[in-house]
Structure 1
Amino acid sequence: MIRFAIAVALVALSGAVASADPAGTWNTAEGKARVRIADCGGGLCATVLSLKEPNAPEGGPKLDIRNVDASKRTRPIVGISLLSGMAPQGDQWLGKIYNPEDGKTYKAYMSEQGGDKLKVQGCALGGLICKTQIWTRAK
């Protein structure tokens, strides 16, 4: 009987997480980028599909010039993964976020704020400093 109750509870919990599945296409804050959130084997990731301003001032596509890994500084921003390893944790998702504006990776949290909004947080210093953005589902 206890095993049955545990099994029912696990099914109910997995259904709650699945109903809050953020997979799909999203516009980042201020519409700077459009990203696709999808399963990337072992967790969700968010890949940049397009940029509001895709070209650098000197011409050509914007590159990942601030990446702390010098070997990645010539890759275009379009196509890189912003979120990685996002796994469900209660009513939110936990993983990593890459910020091309400073070239660093941070601990990340995301949670749906209704069906069309996604709260995305990147945190440093053990969660003492966090930056939050609200992404909107692309139509």
Structure 2
Amino acid sequence: MTSFRNILVVAGAITASTADAAELDGVWLRDDGNARVRIAPCGDKVCATNLWIGDASKGEAVGDKLVMTLSREADGSFSGTAWDAKRDWRYSMTIRATEGALTTRGCLLGGLLCRDVNWKAAE
């Protein structure tokens, strides 16, 4: 299921308050150096879009988006569901934000197949 890895290349639209989601705003680099995404407000949500993909052989492209519906949790993380519009896939998503870093966790098949991806803020 190699395309599952590619789903996590992009982040998406977050239905949390703008103040809550503000720490997610910015340009983020995936830990393997193969993706650069921008997370920013779009309408009443916050969207992340692929700005650059190093290896497009797995189907990811500049401009791809992942749309997430997330809520702020008591521990400060965001959790909810995500939708990959390109593939029409839905899965669960959690994002943990720290100073200059994000960790995303996406799961398919009711949590049977999950993947964590680390991101650092672009300079």
TM-score range for the pair, normalised by the shorter chain length: 0.5 to 0.7
Distance 2:113 2:59 in 1: 27
Question: Is 1:111–2:112 an aligned residue pair?
Answer: no
- TM-score where L is the length of structure 1: 0.59
CA RMSD of the aligned region, Å?
A: 3.1
2:42 match: 40
Residue type matched to 1:51 in 2? Answer: I
Distance 2:99 2:35 in 1: 19
Identical columns (%): 33
Residue type matched to 1:96 in 2? Answer: A
SS at match of 2:23: coil
How many aligned positions are there? Answer: 104
1:81 match: 65
- Per residue, is there more strand in 1 or in 2? 2
Cα gap change, 1:34 to 1:21, in 2 (>3 Å): same
Larger Rg: 1
Structure 1 unpaired stretches of 5+: 1-13, 57-61, 65-76
Cα gap change, 1:27 to 1:78, in 2 (>3 Å): same
Identify the structure with bigger relative contact order (alpha carbons < 8 Å, sequence gap 6+). 2
Distance 2:55 2:112 in 1: 32
Deviations 1:40-69 (A, max 9, x none): 334322100111245x5xxxxx855xxxxx
Counterpart selection for 2:82 from 92, 96, 112: 96
- TM-score where L is the length of structure 2: 0.65
Cα gap change, 1:127 to 1:53, in 2 (>3 Å): closer
